[in-house]
Amino acid sequence: MKLYKKIAYAGVLLSFISCSEDFLVTEPTATLSQETVSEASAINPAVAKGTLLGIYENLYRRGSGGTTAQEDFGITSQYMNLDILSTDMAHTGKSFNRQRDISELTATIDPDNNNNLRPWTFLYRVINLSNLVIDGAGGNDAVPETDNGKFTVGQAKALRGYAYFFLAHVFVNDITDLSKEVLPIYSSADDLEQPKSTLQEVFNFALSDLLDAEILLEGFQREDKIEINQDIVRGLIAKTYGALNNWEQTEIYAKKVVDAGYPIMTADEVALLPGEDGSVGGFNDINSIPGIMWGIDITAAGQGLASLFSWWGFMDQYSYSYAAVGNSKAIDAALYARLRADDVRRFQFRPNLQPGGKFYYKGAEVAGFRNFSGPQLNIDSDSHYMRIAEFYLLHAEAAAENGNFATARTSLKELLSLRLDDTSYIDALPNTALADEAALQARIELWGEGQSYFIMKRRRETRTRAGNNWLDFQGQSFSHTDERLTFEIPQEEIIGNPFISDQN
């Protein structure tokens, strides 16, 4: 972990410089300690806040996975890869070789491939930066006296918990084997290289962080949607309990999120409906859509993301980038065929099954939704990480697993009534089919949003690249435990960490 700790410390040094003119950092960035961070935070509490903002920046910043690749831009770059691995997103074009080795399943069996290095670096960087904030507040067991202190540590613990949740999925073949030693846990920025902990210990650590964050963030009123509040934490807790198939707690926490009152996105917000000008939807403006709970408000001047180095460039066929010129992604044709005739989500996809009616940049209508039309050379369309629809469906899934079938039907209908003309088929479904139906609807509702992979592992599913629009492994099936669907521990980590010598 030495490489990643140096990167993290460099980011903290910048926070010290920008947040406090009175605090002079004299120690080398590679030797920053808990004491250093604590002293800086004591002199100027804005140091911790600045470090926290640095963690959030890693969620969308180019190079946050430690490489210069155009596919390295934070969490949404990982979401794309996971959607392909989940079998729901067909890679229908291979121009410029972008993500070709993900679709062909060669990257995930080669520890030297940078597609393994990027999520490892990105997630452990989030962990290390979070540790610096937590250390600066007194450590894992400390509870700050001020509300601002609690809110800062609460966000840091939420981010650290989410990073371990993410790691436990993407670097572990079988998430049901809780006794297997899988990942190192770093609970302090001063920790040296650590051996693997068991998967149960990793999940326990993630849950401990998230449950602490839930308490610490009581009363927190965020200024921007990039900040994690108590509702986001509860969503992450629900997902973590879901991964463990603890359905009772999953139902409880998903219901807490539902009860927070975020409205479900309307039909014209989720799809470009016939006759509309496109100004309402597109998933391109998180602040105008209350149903988006967590995301980043991107501005061309603020973040400076060129379209070639962004999720939009890879997914939006109207942007001036790869999706328009042969490196296209589309919904698996067989999954699309499962959409009912009266489902408005059919309008999310063009005849080639690309998501041109779901994801499009601000102003695409000005050019008549023409491929490669620009003007999004520098990205000002936003990115989202969580929306309320997921938790109506997760609540329905968990309720069905708990035998609360009427409750499951109610939650399903709450969402599907905004997608279908007629939801009466839900009443006709046998009780035993309700949980799987909720999971299927989640795959459809959240297509392209990076969640299908987590659903597959939560449901312990075997998936098939069933659509005829796949270029690789068309018709072949993959278990959720298939090694080809899980990233390898990077070779750099195996070389640099004396306690890790094997893969998972």
Domain boundary among 339, 367, 386: 386
**Whether 272 and 237 share a structural domain:** no
Q: Could you tell me if 128 and 214 lie in one domain?
A: yes
Residues 237 and 193 in one domain: yes
Would you mind telling me the total number of residues written for the chain in this entry? 504
Task: Check pLDDT > 60 for residue 345.
Answer: yes
Per-residue b or e along 296-322, where b marks 16 or more CB atoms closer than 10 Å to that residue's CB? bebeeeebebbbbbbbbbbbbbbbbbb
What pLDDT digit, counting tens, does each position of 444-459 carry? Answer: 999 999 999 999 999 9
Closest CA to 177 of 205, 200, 195, 203: 200
pLDDT of residue 8: 43
Separation between Cα atoms, residue 396 and residue 379, nearest integer Å: 36
The confidence score (pLDDT) of residue 380 equals 85
Tell me, what CATH number does 47's domain have? 1.25.40.390
Mean local confidence (pLDDT), 428-432: 98
Examine residue 286 and state whether it is found in any structural domain, yes or no.
yes
Is 236 in the same domain as 355? no
Final residue of a domain: which of 357, 386, 415? 386
pLDDT band at 21 (very low <50, low <70, confident <90, very high): very low
DSSP 381: S
Q: Do 279 and 228 fall within a single domain? A: no
The reported pLDDT for the residue numbered 476 is 98
Q: Is residue 397 part of a domain?
A: no
Domain finish residue from 355, 386, 417: 386
Indicate the pLDDT class of residue 53, thresholds 50, 70 and 90.
confident
Q: What percent of the chain shows pLDDT beyond 90? A: 77
Query: What residues form DSSP beta bridges with 196?
Result: 184
The verdict on 273 and 183 lying in the same domain is no
> Rounded CA gap, 441 and 445, in Å?
6
**Is there a domain that residue 21 lies in?**
yes
Q: What does each C-alpha distance from 198 to 130, 288, 315 come to in angstroms?
A: 21, 42, 36
Query: Has residue 186 got a pLDDT over 80?
Result: yes
Q: In the predicted model, what is the mean pLDDT of residues 165-188?
A: 98
Task: Please state whether the predicted TM-score (pTM) of the whole model is above 0.75.
Answer: yes
Which of 340, 333, 284 has its CA nearest to residue 469? 333
- State the residue for tokens 């990942």: 183
In a domain, 379, yes or no: yes
Any domain includes 447:
no
Query: What confidence score (pLDDT) does residue 30 get?
Result: 36
Do 338 and 214 share a structural domain?
Answer: no
Which domain covers residue 211, as residue numbers? 2-72+120-242
* Banded pLDDT at 42 (limits 50, 70, 90): low
| pLDDT in the model for residue 41 | 54
Average confidence score pLDDT of the chain: 90
pLDDT (tens digit per residue) in 279-326: 899 999 999 999 999 999 988 765 556 677 789 989 999 887 889 888
Residue 375 lies in a domain: yes
On whether both 208 and 167 belong to a single domain, the answer is: yes
Asked whether residue 105 is assigned to any structural domain, the reply reads: no
Say which range, 163-167, 219-223, 321-325, 347-351, has the weakest mean pLDDT.
321-325
Note the pLDDT tens digit of each residue in 129-168: 999 999 999 999 999 999 999 999 999 999 999 999 999 9
Does 176 lie in the same domain as 317? no
Check whether residue 214 and residue 282 sit in a common domain. no
Q: Are residues 280 and 381 in the same domain?
A: yes
278 and 186 assigned to the same domain: no
Alpha carbon distance 141, 428 (integer Å): 50
pLDDT at 3: 39
- Domain total in the chain: 2
pLDDT class of 218 with cuts at 50, 70, 90 = very high
User: What pLDDT was estimated at residue 374?
Assistant: 66
User: What is the DSSP annotation of 305-341?
Assistant: -BGGGSHHHHH-TTSSSGGGTT--EEE-HHHHTTS-T
pLDDT at 363: 80
Is residue 93's pLDDT more than 50?
yes
